[in-house]
Structure formats: structure tokens, C-alpha cells
Amino acid sequence: MAATLVWLRRDLRLADQPALSAAAERGLPVIPVFIHAPEEEAPWQPGAASNWWLHHSLARMDEALAQAGSRLILRRGASLATLLDLARETGADAVFWNRLYEPAVIRRDQEIKKALREAGLTATSFNAALLHEPWQIATGSGDPYKVFSPFWKACRKAGIDTAPGTVPPHLPGPGAAARAGEDWPRSEHLEALDLLPRIRWDQGLAEHWTPGEAGALERLQSFVEDSVRAYAKGRELPGRDGTSRLSPHLHFGEISPRQIVWNLREAGLDLDAGGAEHFVRELGWREFGHHLIYHFPQTTEEPLNPRFQHFPWRESKQDLQAWQQGRTGIPIVDAGMRELWQTGWMHNRTRMIVASLLTKNLRLHWLHGARWFWDTLVDADLASNTLGWQWAAGSGADAAPYFRIFNPVLQGQRFDTDGTYVRRYVPELEAMPDAKIHAPWQSDRKPPGYPDPVVDLKTSREAALEAFKTLP
């Protein structure tokens, strides 16, 4: 009897899952499979924090499938060869999956779709990750947008509140013995994928996050009830819990943007005003990043603005290490970098501050920052990571002007006025008075163990402006 393979990747949920729903609608056995092949995503294969999240998300997905009378098959190895093997083992005549948009993955998926069809299988892909496909939104001349505001206006005009799909009412297994685990193809044990760190540094991640579809829905509900109405202001204050923290759940497809927008609408919120509007625009910014990486795949390594190919970046292992370790001597920066290391996440306002210091005051290449974030963020997303770092460096789409160089002292005083955030992650400054906590070098009460600033903010700003003037 024929069956349908559902190739799961970063779409680890049951609701609003187009590939899974389409497979269930065929009425034939559905075989969900996840293939661990990180080398196929090189040079941006998942980092350590992403692998930690993936391990737990796969565990939750397997539990959810079991409750639906199904199970998750885990395999390691080349994706195409594994899919062909599974098709032979199960008698599957079709393979369904949801699309991804990273350059290496697009190339891989196109080759796999072609090879599967040549082997006589039905191979069909779906949109599960975006409100609109990258080829659906274009300027009047048919070109991709490079500026966010008109892009988002076009997305809004095309509609962003389509009803999400529901959980399939039934996932047919391969036979009556499926519940006992018989008649299913062989599966690896989750531990065999070797996703968890051998040296257990992940306690902070476990304390702050609940991977999986249920965790995503719980976080969304909490955000809608407690924070979204004040989001316009709350999103700027790193010392408060004013953001959704849905980004890792979105990246791993434990929740979809359609579900988020629909839930906001169902809660009676106006998507064109107040906190809900600001939050939905952040979903739009994520969407913008995916559209850009689709149309400009070279930007994962190269500046979108070709002038920046000639920018005189510095090289300093010592300065880079101080930044990575949260030992720059600039409290708001150090707090952000330590939050990242301890929790696998960083507040967006602080992300902009630390990125500005790295690329402009320290004048280190934005790829150094992108790669560090890639390894340490639980929400490391190639599209968003590329867009954010190129924006900070001034080299990307809708980028911050080259002369916009954040003063981290003023940023700290404005967005962490009482020092709550700094004291949380830089406890050696706990006794500093509020008036000096963002510039402790100006006080005779600075703890001797806390470093002096790695760079003079005024002179480094002037040096960065001079460097920008050399661009052709």
C-alpha cells in the first residue's frame, strides 16, 4: 500500500502544518521523518545553542505525534539517499515538505525534488514559514524590495491575516500494529543525533526556555494577555519582560506567523494601532529578512551594498574576545553579551547596541558578530541574523546610516535608566549608583575587577566616520 513521507525540518508542529495536513488528506499512511544532515547547510550549519533547542523540539514533536497515533522517524545521513531508502522501505509514493529559504537549503531541496520525481515519486513543497512567498511581493517594476516600509505596505495590502490550518484530525499509520511500533521504518534514537553539548553548559537555557509547540502556544498566550498592549514601549526596555520571546519558536516552526497574527486578531486587538501594530511590524521585519536572503543569497557572506567591499575593517582578536565575553568595560554591552551566553537570547535593543559597538567603535567585520550570534543564539536564523548585522554595519538593505553610531552610555541611560538590566547580568556593578552605572569609569566607586572600556567611545566614533568617508 502506498504512503506519504512528510519530511520535517524547521516546521516542528501539528497545527497550521501544510505538508502534514496535505499528507493526511490523501488518506494513506503518513510517515513523519526528520533527517539530521547539518553538513548540507554549510557554511551555516546550526550552532551549539540551535542544536540544544532542536534536540528538545524533536522530543516534543515525537510526543505530540504519539498522542495523534503516529510517531517520528529519526535518521542521519544524506537527505536524498535517506528519503529514497525510506520510500523503498515503506512503499511511499510521495514526499511532502515545507519550504526553507536559505541559499544552501534551496539548492539542496531543488536537487532533491528533481531526483525524487525522476525516481517516480510525487514531490511537493508548501509554505509554512512566511505570510507571503518571496516571489509574491515585488515593486511595481517587478524587483524585490530593499526598503522595509514599502515592502511591509505591500505585504499588508496583499493580506496578512489568513486563517491558519488546524491540527489534522487523524494521522493514519502504516497499519493496525503501528501503536506497538511495528511496520514502521527503522528510527535512530534521539540521543544518537548528538545534539546536546558534551560539557553541560546548557543549564541557563533549560531555565529560560520550553521548546516545542505547546511551549510556543503558551508563550504566545502569555504575551497577548500580559505584554502586547504595552509592546511599543516595553520592547525598548531590556530590564523588563516586555517582548514576546517567540523568535526561537518561530525559527524552529513550532508556531507560524499566521497563527500569531490570527491570535492577535482573535484577541480583539487592532493590528493597525498600538502595541499590536508594533509587534506585527516585527513579524514583517522577519518576513523582510527571508525575502532578502531569497533574492540576494550572497548577502550571508558579502555586503548587499557593494561599496562596503572596500571598507577598512580592523582585526583584533583581543577586542573581539572582550566583546564575546562581556568584558568590554561598557556595562550595557557587557550585560547584553552575558545575557546571550547565559540564556541563549538577547533583547533586541541590546542587540543593536552591541552590534554598533562591534562594527563601528571597534570596527570589526560584521561577520565576526554574525558568527558568534549564530553559535550562541537559540533563535539563530540566517535570514534575520544576516539582515540585522548588515543593518547595524550600514551595508545592507534599509541599513542604519553609516553616521548612526549608538552611544552605549546614552543608550543605557535611556533604556535601562535605573540599571536593572546591567545589575542582573553584571553583578560586580551592583553597588554602583544609578547615575554612574552606565559609565563606571567616571566614578571612584568602580570595582577594581571590572575592566576599563576597551575603546574610547568619542575617538573611535570619529575614526569610524573617517573610515566611512574612504568608501568609493
Give the active site residues: 282, 285, 313, 348, 366, 389
DSSP-assigned letters across all residues of 181-204: TTTSPP---GGGG--S-SS---HH
Which residue in the block uniquely carries the three cell numbers 566614533? 461
Amino acid sitting at position 339: E
List Cβ neighbours of 140 (8 Å cut-off, separation of 6 or more).
Answer: none
- Name which of 11, 60, 380, 270 is nearest 164 in CA terms: 11
* Helix, coil or strand: residue 370: helix
Distances (CA, A) of 12 to 28, 319, 335: 21, 39, 32
Cell of 179: 501503536
Cβ-Cβ contacts under 8 Å for 273 (sequence gap 6 or more): none
The number of C-alpha atoms within 13 Å of 317 and in the hemisphere containing its C-beta is 0
Element (H, E) at 41: none
CA within 13 Å, CB half, 145: 24
Q: Which residues pair with 125 in a beta bridge?
A: 97
